[in-house]
Structure 1
Amino acid sequence: MKVITIPYKPRPLWKDIIHPALDKYRFAVIVAHRRYGKTVGMINELTKSAIKNTLISPQFAYVAPFRNQAKMIAWNYLKYYTSAIPGRKVNESDLFIELPSKHKNAVGARIYIIGADKPDALRGTYWDGVVLDEYAQIKPELWGEVIRPALADRKGFAYFIGTPKGQNQFYEMYQRAQRSEDWFTCLYRADESGVLDEAELKSMMKDMTKVEIRQELYCDFTASASEVVIPIDLVTEAAHRTLVSRDVMGMPTVLGVDVARYGDDSTVIFARQGLMLNKPRVYRELNVTEVVDRVILAITDYRPEVVFVDVGNMGAGVIDRLRQLGYDNVYEVAFGSKAMEERRFENIRAEMYFKARDWLLSGGAIPDIPEFKSELSVVEYKFSDKTSRIMLKPKKEIKEKLGRSPDLADAFVLTFARPLYAPIDADDVRQQSYDPFAGM
């Protein structure tokens, strides 16, 4: 038997703990500090699995949030560590390597480098093993709707790897895995792993903020929790609450509508009644007329007291058309406009998110949607240098963390743009003089 030596020398923790554990567990979450060697370790885990797999035409994938990112991080590693395997083929355009087949006339084992921004590359096929890197920035439906079902036929594995970036979906996946006997979990800090020597570690820390040190080196999921408006634990608790229509009977309903342009963003409609938030209606690539039709349908179904629409993007056109059609309970909301509590909040955007937090603390129940929960739990606040009022950190930073726009969260908080009042009596008599903008 010919012996093939791959140029990989695993670090002690990989050799003694992680690789042996992955031989036993089908699912895993590995949390580790920056420069720990997560990518190298996982590329070699995929290579080993591809070599050992005896099924016909095995397929494996390393998935990062973006294709260019995945290529930059992992492609050269994959080519280097498989270079010693005779008969290996490299496909530069589609970013996969193919190993010789164990079956006559069959395609050999393939390892793909894929970006989560191109989900079609993962749809409609099977996978024998997948590694998801920086899961906090990957759309959560990719796991539940695409990857997990694709692993079922051949009992494929899935390993989640990353460094903490706050209390988000990666944190939630880590917590869930810790509670399951079927998952392997580990967490390695920079001061414990021995990967970075003491001098280099001290040098790095001089150039990092306290939050960055706790997060990037000490793997602290709560590093920025003091600045998070809605902690993930509160979001998770709210998602586990169950309310039905009779629990909120007689309470007024409000719609929040976040209108998106064409592209990756979504138009989202949320209906909230009392302490119950209904499942969102999510649409992609709609023009103004189509959005108006969807809002009218929601108004017909929910009969809201008021409809709050984000005036940004195409929102102004949607509002104008709804008013032309006689819907006089539709109000525009500009996220940068003045807050009702203007002494406390810099703008209405900050005020809405904090009102949403108060609502969750009072017992609000939300749909258990991973993407929605992630969006809610990454929004951070700070105090304005000029006014000392509360303001939220820029939406651009949120999009960088999530890899997408927080459309679900924005639609939800729009339902708190102005206060609503319960009907006068139990027969749901509407207050005819009600105007949420009265006195402004």
Structure 2
Amino acid sequence: MPSLLIPYTPRFPQTEIHPQLESHRFCVLVTHRQMGKTVCAVNHLLKQACMLNLPNGRYFYVAPFLKQAEMLVWDYFKRFTAPLAAMPTASGQIKNLLQINEAKLSLRLPNGAVVRVLGADRPDAMRGTYADGIVLDEYAQIKPNVFNEIIRPMLTSRKGWCVFLGTPKGQDQFYDVYCHAAKEFAANPHGEWWAGMYRADQTGIIAQDELARIQTETPENLFRQEYLCDFTASRTDVLIPIDLVLAAQKRFYNEYELRGAPKILGVDPARFGDDRSVIIRRQGLQSFAPRVLAKLDNVQLAGLVAQEIKDFRPDAVFVDAGQGAGVIDVLRSLGYEVTEVPFGGAPLQAGRYRNKRAELWGEMAEWIRHGGALPEQETTLANELASAVYDFDEAGKMRLEAKDKIKARLGKSPDLADALALTFAAPVASREQRSIWEQKTTYEVEWSV
């Protein structure tokens, strides 16, 4: 096949997305509106079709409805393959190497590969054939049985690939496949699955002033869903909505503003498997970037915590007692004062929270609502904080959903969020505050003599 230069120049985040699409067989791409996901996917499909070395390649771009596919996608395919319709030969003549079938919305490339644009509203058109690659656009609007009953069998014989595209529409099959991909990718980054999410506040494609205007003119839940890629936007039981998290990431307090505020260290040791150990610092209204660690024994982790204590000089150190007993013992043997926190233990505010874990997250949520600042570039922490939902028991006490359910959605345990939550285990006084109290007590005693 002649060399084809596709008239397409990727921009961020497309430059980040294409390598992932090319190195994983099943990809789930969640994006905000106007990011350019369709153009990205069209050109990925064309590149793979042009480079195929097998005979009779078959590629499909599937949108929820045929008319929608024809209107939004078909012109892109013709535009980006236009150079094939006017390829110069060795003798200088112009030759058309592209076959276009407008009736079938199909292209035949010079290597024999056929690209078809279809609608999922007519899924039977795909039955009985194979596929080397398929793009499922706006997957949230495609019936759930289409992939399992039709698409997946098509990919079997030639080990074809599939890309799921879309913007959240709630916790539907697109949400399910995203969670599955995220879990598989977290367990094996070099495996078959990849999951990517790109929000409008991250990509920079929509100018900040324009995004702010859209936010003021759009209902809150719709903005969170369409531009912040929030699958839970339609839910009212999310403890910390993503918009609150993003607002907290835009705050920052300088050293002068934090003067006198207590310094607290939260330590969440790894539990098992792919869980991570996390150490996080917080001083008053400012939290700092978490330190994420993996595959450390108790002595190694305790040594790193001891170093954090030396550098940060916290007023309190809270460690998850569930899997941190060994770390706690080592730290205490080294002379460090740490406080163990049982997530399933009794809360300080027994009339308000079901257990200690609910209290930790509940107090963290209040801290965020009342001015708490989060590290700006910590996307993982942001996603974990916005993942938990809550309800109330028969006594009216708040309870948090089980960690296993959060882990099932995220593909991993919310270790970073848990570490930050640990810094709210109990009220903490700073050294300066304790010094003032001691002076005040001495003063009152002197006058009482």
Partner of 1:356: 364
Q: Identical aligned pairs, as a percentage?
A: 31
Give structure 2 stretches of 5+ with no counterpart.
2-54, 81-104, 116-131, 137-145, 165-173, 208-224, 440-449
Question: In 2 relative to 1, CA 372–18 (structure 1 residues): closer, same or farther, beyond 3 Å?
Answer: farther
2:154 is the alignment partner of 1:80: yes
Letter in 2 for 1:379: A
Q: 1:344 aligns with which of 352, 366, 372?
A: 352
Q: 1:365 aligns with which of 344, 353, 373?
A: 373
Q: 2:288 aligns with which of 265, 268, 278?
A: 278
Secondary structure in 1 matching 2:317: strand
2:231 is the alignment partner of 1:223: no
Q: Deviations over 1:62-87 (max 9, x none)?
A: 89xxxxxxxx9579726627x9xxxx
CA contact (8 A) 1:376 1:409 kept: yes
CA contact (8 A) 1:262 1:286 kept: no
Secondary structure in 1 matching 2:307: helix
In the alignment, the residues of structure 2 paired with residue 289 and residue 351 of structure 1 have an alpha-carbon distance, to the nearest angstrom, of 29
Question: In 2 relative to 1, CA 260–220 (structure 1 residues): closer, same or farther, beyond 3 Å?
Answer: closer
Question: In 2 relative to 1, CA 13–324 (structure 1 residues): closer, same or farther, beyond 3 Å?
Answer: farther
Q: 2:389 aligns with which of 357, 363, 380?
A: 380
Deviation (angstroms), 1:384: 1.2
Deviation (angstroms), 1:321: 1.4
In the alignment, the residues of structure 1 paired with residue 345 and residue 57 of structure 2 have an alpha-carbon distance, to the nearest angstrom, of 65
In the alignment, the residues of structure 2 paired with residue 382 and residue 133 of structure 1 have an alpha-carbon distance, to the nearest angstrom, of 22
Deviation (angstroms), 1:113: 8.5
Partner of 1:289: 299
Deviation (angstroms), 1:307: 0.5
In the alignment, the residues of structure 2 paired with residue 22 and residue 409 of structure 1 have an alpha-carbon distance, to the nearest angstrom, of 42
Deviation (angstroms), 1:392: 0.7
CA contact (8 A) 2:178 2:195 kept: no
RMSD of aligned residue pairs (Cα, Å): 4.7
- Larger helix share, 1 or 2: 2
CA contact (8 A) 1:229 1:380 kept: yes
Deviation (angstroms), 1:9: 7.9
TM-score by length of 1: 0.56
Partner of 1:410: 418
Deviation (angstroms), 1:344: 0.9
Q: 1:325 aligns with which of 312, 334, 352?
A: 334
In the alignment, the residues of structure 1 paired with residue 195 and residue 413 of structure 2 have an alpha-carbon distance, to the nearest angstrom, of 26
Structure possessing the higher radius of gyration over alpha carbons: 2
Corresponding residue pairs, total: 297
Secondary structure in 2 matching 1:227: coil
What pairs up with 1:39-438 in 2 under 5 angstroms?
A: 51=113, 77=151, 80=154, 90=158, 96-97=159-160, 111=161, 134-135=177-178, 139=182, 173=199, 180=206, 221-224=232-235, 226-313=236-323, 315-328=324-337, 330-367=338-375, 368-385=377-394, 387-424=395-432, 429=435
Letter in 2 for 1:236: L
Question: In 2 relative to 1, CA 403–424 (structure 1 residues): closer, same or farther, beyond 3 Å?
Answer: same
Partner of 1:154: none
In the alignment, the residues of structure 2 paired with residue 249 and residue 293 of structure 1 have an alpha-carbon distance, to the nearest angstrom, of 28
TM-score by length of 2: 0.55
Q: Deviations over 1:248-283 (max 9, x none)?
A: 123220011001034210000011001111111110
Deviation (angstroms), 1:243: 2.7
CA contact (8 A) 1:138 1:402 kept: no
Secondary structure in 1 matching 2:322: coil
CA contact (8 A) 1:251 1:423 kept: no
CA contact (8 A) 2:58 2:133 kept: no
Q: Deviations over 1:166-213 (max 9, x none)?
A: xxxx5x7267679638xxxxxxxxxxxxxxxxxxxxxxxxxxxxxxxx
Secondary structure in 2 matching 1:410: helix
Letter in 2 for 1:19: V
Secondary structure in 2 matching 1:404: coil
